[in-house]
Every structure is written in structure tokens, then in C-alpha cells.
Structure 1
Amino acid sequence: MTATDPAADPAVSLPPARHRLARLLPEDPVLRRLSAITLVNTLGNGLGMTLAVVYFTRVMGFGVGTVGLVLTVAGACGVAAGVPAGRLSDRYGPKRVLVVLLAGQAVCAAAYVLVHDLVVFALLACLVAVADRGGSAVRGALFAEVLPVDGRVAGRAYLRSVTNVGLAVGTLGAAAVLQLDTRGAYLTALLVDAASFGVIAVLYGLLVPATPRAAGHAERAASGPNPALRDRTFLLLTGLNGVITLQFVMIEVGLPLWVVRDTAAPRWMVAGGLLVNTALVIVLQVRATRGTEQPRAAALVFRRGALLVAASCLVVGLAAGLPGWAAALLVAGGVACQALGEVYSQAGAWALSYDLAKEDAHGAYQGVFNTGMSGALMLGPALMTSVVIAHGLAGWALLAALFAAAGFGMTALVRR
């Protein structure tokens, strides 16, 4: 068979539709497997995230305030889980720890459908949060082990795009369940979500390679203080990234409240804004990782993203008091600006979280890094409602200044 024979070229031999699909898939076989696992996971998450609170209140019969308090306590437990989960992944290997956490999450999430007692509900919610946030930290360490060093950030970006696809499809499924609004539909959806954790636990165990660990690595990881907690540079990085993480609370909590309460923009802009954000992240996240190969360059990318998010705050804040069409244009522009800032800031943060960590302690470092993010996500709603929304344009300007300060602070930190 000669080189000019069409059959010699796999790309030519594929039908056009399959050829386009093949071009979208990553070349690294491990990343392909991680992508499939992530898609299954986020399809379930899209169902669970959208329906859980509705199920707890409408089907289980708990009050809205009670559910809010339970989920706040559970969120605090999740924040506390990141650091020990990261240390365990250094000790026993991230793959093993992640499989255990996912299996536990599957059991606890499935048990929701059997619970009618408030204390048991609270206990399950805390266990689910611990498994979820601990698993997030362990995944970061797993990616550091199984992906090539020069492909970690691009790999995480690709998985982030897959995450948004899965969440979007899962949310559409949740919309159908909400339309049916029956106990059976809610129970089925939550059991599907719980089953997805069990499925991906098996897939991680079967499809993701376990990297060999150097002799004595486990003993070193288990002994002595946590190196990440003694690394002041990394702690500052974690804090600055925690600040920029508030953008997710801004787009999910602050923007909807602002559009509905304080602007004349049509209410469908809330859902439309989230869809625009999701679509832009899917398309742009991988491209945004270019130029993050060195720490200083990654810090500049992070700063670019932080300034774009800061600008989006000012644009959205100016929408109050304007006619509906003008407010809608500003909200749309602000959402697009935030999405661009999101992909850049995330790309820079991922690169720095790996570059500034010790290569033999990624679990400890990713545990601390994810704890900073979890803390911001827990405190963010109170900040949005009591400071940003409550003070109008001044509140949005304050938030913009906070994001900009994080961006300049990151470049100053890395320059040191």
C-alpha cells in the first residue's frame, strides 16, 4: 500500500461525520478516557444540581430555610475535606482514593430517596459534600499524575469544555423532569445521578492507569507537616484564585438577582446569559491555555482574565435604570466579557497550581488549592446579596476592584 493510497490515511478513510468527530477528540488516549468519564459524571451532575433543592423541599417536605441551613453546613464540611483528601491521595494514590470517594458518594446520593428524617438528611448532605469536594481535589492530583507535564493545563481545559457540555445536557433533562413535576420523575432523576457516581468509580478503576509510585513516596507523604500549608507563596496563590472564583457565584447568583430585581432587561436574559457563558467556555477554554507554559506567562494570562471579569462587573452594573433593550445589551455584553475572563483566569490558575507545587506532593497542593475555591463558593452568595446587590453600581464597582486586585496581585506574586 503506497502513501498516496487513500486507505493509508485513517482520516481520509473515515466518513465525513466521523472525521469531524475524530478531530474534536484529543489524541492522548488517557485524556480520551477521562473525557468519557467526565461526560458521564457531568450528565448526572446536571440533573442533580438542578433538581436537588426542589426535591428536598417539594418531595421530602423540608422548609426552604431548613434546606438552606443544611446545605450551608454541608458546604462547610466540603471545604474542610479538600486538604485531608489531598494528603490521602499522596499517601495511597489519587486513583484509589477517588474511586473510594465516588463509591461513597453514589451510596449517599442514592440514600436521599429513602430519607424523611431531618438529622439523617443533614448527615447525608454532609457526606455527599465531603465526597464531592474531596474528590475535586483528588482529581487535580490524578490529572497531574496521568497526563504529560506539558499537557496538564490543556488537558484540564479540554475536560472543562466536556464538563460544560455534560452539565448543559443534564440540565435539559432536569427541565423535562421539572415539567413533569411528579414524585416518580424526581426519584428517577436522583437515582440516575447517584448511579452516575458508581459508574464513573468503575470507569476510573478500569480505564485510568495507575502510575507507579517511587519507593518511600507513601511514607514521605504520610509523615511530617503538609508542605502546601507551609508554602506561603502557594497559599497566596490559593487566596488570589479564591477571589477570582467568586466570578462563578457572580454569574449564578449575582447576575440573576440583579437582572430580575434591578434592571428592565427581560427575565429570560438570566437563562440566556448562562447559556452564552456555557457555550463560550466550551468553545474557548482550550484555546485560552496557549501561552501558559511558564509561570510568569501564566500569571499574565490570569491577570488578563481577572481584568475582563472586572470589566464585566462594571458593564452589568451600568444596566440598572436603562430601558429594557439597552439593559439587555449591557447584560449580554457583560456575560460575554465574563466568559472570556473566566477561560483566561482558569487557564492561568491551573498552570500556576501545578507549576508552583512540589512534583511529589500534588495531592497536598491540589487539596489546599481546591479548599480555597470551595471556601469562596461557600461565602460568595452572602457577599453577592449583602454587598454587591445591596449597594447597586457601587457594589459592582467594589467587586470589580476586588477582581482587578487579584489579577495584579498574581503577577506581583509570581514576579517575586
Structure 2
Amino acid sequence: MKEDFLHYLWKFKKFDTLNLKTSNNEEITIANVGQYLELAGPDFFNAQITIGDQMWAGNVEIHLKSSDWYVHHHERDAAYENVILHVVWEHDTEIYRKNNTEIPVLELKKYVDQDTIANYQSLMSPKAWIFCEKELAGISPFVVKNWQERLFFERLERKSKPIFELLQQTNNDWEAVLFCLLAKNFGLNTNGEIFLKVASSIPFSIIRKESFEVENLESLLFGNAGLLDVEKEDNYFKDLKFRYYYLLHKYQIEKSSCNPVQFFKHRPDNFPTIRLSQLANLYHSNQNLFSQISEITSVKSIYDLFQVSASSYWQDHYQFDKESPKKKKMLSKSFIDLIIINTLIPIQFAYAKSRGEEIAEDLIQLLNEVAPEKNAIVDKFSSFGMKSGSAFETQSLLQLKNEYCAKSKCLECAIGMELMKG
């Protein structure tokens, strides 16, 4: 038994509310259970409860045992002075406020039917991966669809926080924010933070000015990523290095320092040299990229916009001074899908939010056009009967697993609550 189960019982009145009595045998009538805010202090605020003949307005605190009041030292905390009812599973001692007045206690276990308890125990019993894995396939599609939308926008809310932080750092320049986010995305998990630092270290006004010469963009990105710090005989390398130090002097900017970019364990097409060149070519080909993206309403348009490749030098190189078989290194469809999921959708959401606009349906429609992601979490859900047909659904599943299943928040989950009905 956990307190979150008691919170669930109280919040949704999942008990016999018609015959309630305090531990001192006074009748209880609940007009309003209060607001469950999950903040410091009592569990439910502004409840309205009649105890005996007296109507009370105040807060409700919930514990497994009455004695937990003293274990948590609430008797010393002024935040608990307005508690009008102590709801517990087991009443084992009387409790008092700082002024020695007794707080009424409701022992909840007397009023909860056995089916509800059995459903909770079944839901929370240990499983191999998640608690409800054996029941997932039987959940109503209507419940799942509505819950997926909620999960999707919860995930976007989380992703929008660093976007607004970047917006402050760039003086509200959405083009600069997009550049930083794309850089992080181009670096993938291994080099993402390094690429973000590289992009953040170059004022975007310089990217704008130098975007007409792709070699200048490459020199800035390669240089600040530390890829030009060595000496090589390669003429292309020497040209980029010359441009890099010229641009540092021209704009009076300091050479950035960051951790070395990683080549190890990457497929050659994901080498940082290739990804940085593709990023440079994207901005060489498209001025005002954010303005274009903010008006796009179809995935096909995004694919068209991101049809860029690494520079010609990289057609037969993956690293400086090392020739390789010739290959035109275009951004792949699967890589563009990652950009849509991790950068374009979140920044469109944040931009609309900043302007007070509602584009929820548009974002869902866009992601419904993108192929589902392939990863261990998505595969596991699929094996239990919850299959995904689009990136919208896989993004929802990632939010579900990471923020609910992994944290045992079954009673805050629509699927868990559905299973509690039995």
C-alpha cells in the first residue's frame, strides 16, 4: 500500500461516501475533496467538508498511518495549521495541532471495497517490464488515443523549456534558436551537446553574414569544434584553417573550447565532419530558415527543404587527409525524421505558445505523417499489443514509459485508472 493509492481514492471518491465517520464517530459529508496540487504542504487544498454539524473549509492531509503526522513533524509546521481532516489507511493514534486541538481522522480502509483493493494490488504487482504489460492489449482504443494526445503535449511542454531558455540567451532571435537546436540534433546523442556549444559560441549574426560562402560556415563550425587544431597537408583543411582564423580576427570573436568530438562507434555517415558540413550547407542553401519552417504544414515540404548534402570535398572523404569511395552524402529520410521529431515540432510548438496560438491539431497531423521510431521502448510496447503507426504514437509511448511507468505513477495514468475500474 502506498500513499498515491490513497490520493487516488480521495481525489476520485473511490470509497463509500454515504456513511463516513471520523475515528470519534462524527458523521462526515464531503462537498469538495479539494485541489490536488502536489506542492509542499498538505496534499489537498481548499476542501469543503461537514463534520458533525460544522461545515469546514480548509486542507486535507493523507497518510498511511495517523502516526505519520508526527514522523513527518507536521505538528511543528505552520503550513499544516489549516488541516481540517486527516485521511489515513490505518488509524493508530490521535493527532493534534500546535495549539493542542485535535484533528479529525478518517480511517479510509473501512470504506473501500475489496474489488478496488484487488485491482490496485493486481496493477502494482511486480512484472518483468511495466506493471500493466499483460493488460495493455485490452485497453479501449478510445482511452489510448485520448491519453496519447495528453502524453504528446506533456512531452512538448518539457521540450519547450530549453527552447525558451535559448530564446532568452539569443535576445529572442528564433532563427538563432533554431540554428542551435539543429546543431544539437545533427550531433545526435554522442556529439549533440558539443555541437550545441559550438553553435552557441558563434553569434548568429555572423552565420547570417557568412552564409553565402559555405566554406566560411564550415570553417567556423569545424574550427570551434576543435577539428582544425592540428596540422595536416590536405589543401582543403589548410584553406578552412586560414578562413577560420581570418574570421576570428574579422569579427573579434574568441576561439571556442569544448570537449573533442567523437568519431568512435559512429557509422561513417554520422561522423561529426559529415554532419557539420551538412549543417553548413543547409544554412548556405536557406536564408531565414525559421521563417520557412514556421509556415510549413506538410512533411513533404520539410523533406524538400532539407534535401542538402555535405560539400563536394566530403563526397570522397569522411576525415581530413583520408580518401574514401565517392558517395554523395545527402541527409537521409530517417535523419530528417529525427529533425522533425526533435527540433521542428518542438520549436513550432514553442513559437505558437509564445504567440498565444493554437496549433495542436497541425502538429499531430504532421507527426502522423512521419514513420514510427524504432527503439527498445517502442518495440517492448509493441510486443505487449500496443503497436505504433506513426511518430506521434511513438513519442507518446516514450513519454508514457519515462514519466509514468518508470516512476510507478500508475494512478496518474489514464491506462492505470482504466484498469482500476476492473
Q: TM-score range by the shorter chain?
A: under 0.3
- TM-score of the two chains, using structure 2 as the length reference: 0.22
Question: Of Structure 1 and Structure 2, which has the larger fraction of its residues in helix?
Answer: 1
Question: Of Structure 1 and Structure 2, which has the larger fraction of its residues in strand?
Answer: 2
- TM-score of the two chains, using structure 1 as the length reference: 0.22
Find the structure with the greater CA-based Rg.
Answer: 2
